[in-house]
Each structure stands twice: as C-alpha cells, then as structure tokens.
Amino acid sequence: MKPTDRIFVAIDTPEVASARALAESLKGLVGGVKLGLEFFVANGPDGVRAVTAGLDMPLFLDLKLHDIPNTVAGAVRAAVALRPAFLTVHASGGPAMLRAAADAAAEEAVRLGVPRPKVLAVTVLTSLEAADLDAVGQTGPVAAQVERLARLAVGACVDGVVCSPAEVAGLRSALGRDAVLMVPGIRPAWAAANDQKRIMTPGDAIAAGADHLVIGRPITGAADPAAAARRIAEELA
Ligand code: C5P
C-alpha cells in the first residue's frame, strides 16, 4: 500500500462547501475522506455525494450503526449507494446484527455492480472508561471488552475494527493479519494533541500493525492542509 493510501482525513464539519473544498485540496495526497454522523445528519446522502462526486477518493462513511439486524441491514443497503470503501457499525449490536450488516453490504454491492464496502466494527468507544462499562453492565477491563467485541465482529464476517493506537498491537495479534485495523488518535510529532489523550505518531501506529490512519485536525486544522498531508505521507515513506 502506498503511504498516502493509508491516510483517511476526518472531515469533521457540518458544512458541505468547506468539506468539498478540503477534499479537493487533498486529492492524491490522502487515501480517502472520512465523513461521520455530524456531517451526515446535517446534509444527508446528497451532502455526501456533493463532497465525493467526481473526485475518485475512497469514502469512509463513519455512521456507527447500531439497531436491530433488519434495520441495520436496510441502512447498510442505503449506504452502499454512496459507494463507501468503509462503513462502521457498533460491535455491541451483537452477532446477528454484525452478520446482517456484512451480508447486506455484500449483497447490495453485487446488486448495484459496485465494489463491496468493507464493514468495520467499533468496539468500546474511547470516551468510555472502566466505570462507564460498569454503568452499562459491560464486563471490563476495557482492553478485554475491546478484544471480545473485536473477535465477535470478525467472527461475524465483519472486515475489521476501528481501534485506538493503544489497541493496535494486541488486536493485530488477536485477529490475525487479514483483519482491517483503522486507527484514529494519530498525531505526528509536530502536531498538537488537541483533546486526544492516548496518541501515537503515524509511523508508530503503522509499525504496531495499523492498516489505515484516521487523521483530522493535524491536516484539516493546518494552515496548509495539503502540505501537512504531504508531510505525513513522506514520514510514512
Ligand atoms: O482531529 P482528530 O485527528 O482528532 O480526528 C479524529 C477523528 O477520528 C474524529 O473524526 C473522531 O471522531 C474520530 N475518532 C476518534 N477516536 C475514536 C473514534 C473515532 O478520534 N476512538
């Protein structure tokens, strides 16, 4: 994989025009763009199309779906029309929901004649600590719950997981080399940490076993986003 292909830039804004401008300015310099709930709820599928149309940049649609299997399958089918390379579901939705998501992605892609999106599972949100798991009745410690949910997801034919830098090495050995590890919480040595607590540099995360890196503010908040993306890809090379 080329160094640039590893980088998904997190475009965390509700504004279509600025998201589109940012995506255009990063074409060829990153592997794709990540659009999440904030953007999707504000702008819907048309907003997503407005950002990606004609750019030929892979889309990571990070909607973190979590509902009964039938509903998630329907949402996944609707999402496939947007041609995402990756989309996300919550592993805690359980095995039937995970399998329904994976099946729906595969079947709808065949039906539409488009590439199959890879389904990634979110395990334990990094905003949750041991006491939060306890409060919702999940068994800790956090690392054990992350691994349990990750194994569940991959066992249900999900392609991989979104995980924090601290979880990469453990999940790589638990899940094997075929599982996709998509990793946010990445900060080049020269960038501000912002509100991220457990960060890793791009190079260290790849060395630990990450496939793709989700990088937002170090690129989007830079005076020259294209230059920042170029610098990160050069460091990875
Ligand atoms: O700006 P920054 O690089 O911190 O952006 C990281 C992106 O990854 C954001 O879109 C954030 O919501 C997402 N993310 C994260 N930590 C997680 C899961 C997702 O930072 N555990």
Residues 64, 42, 56, 201: is their CA dihedral positive or negative?
negative
* CA 112–ligand 1 middle distance (angstroms): 31
What are the two backbone dihedrals, phi and then psi, of residue 54, each rounded to the nearest 5 degrees? 75, 0
Residues in contact with ligand 1 (CB, 6 Å cut-off): 10, 12, 36, 126, 162, 164, 184-185, 194, 196, 214-217
For residue 196, the enclosing domain spans 3-236
How many other CB atoms are there within 10 angstroms of residue 141's CB atom?
10
Centre of ligand 1 to C-alpha 33, Å, is 13
CATH of the domain at 205: 3.20.20.70
The Å distance, Cα 166 to ligand 1 centre, comes to 14
Number of domains within the chain: 1
Per-residue pLDDT of the chain (237 residues; tens, 9 = 90+): 999 999 999 999 999 999 999 999 999 999 999 999 999 999 999 999 999 999 999 999 999 999 999 999 999 999 999 999 999 999 999 999 999 999 999 999 999 999 999 999 999 998 888 999 999 999 989 999 999 999 999 999 999 999 999 999 999 999 999 999 999 999 999 999 998 888 999 999 999 999 999 999 999 999 999 999 999 999 999
Q: List the catalytic residues.
A: 64
- pTM of the full structure: 0.97
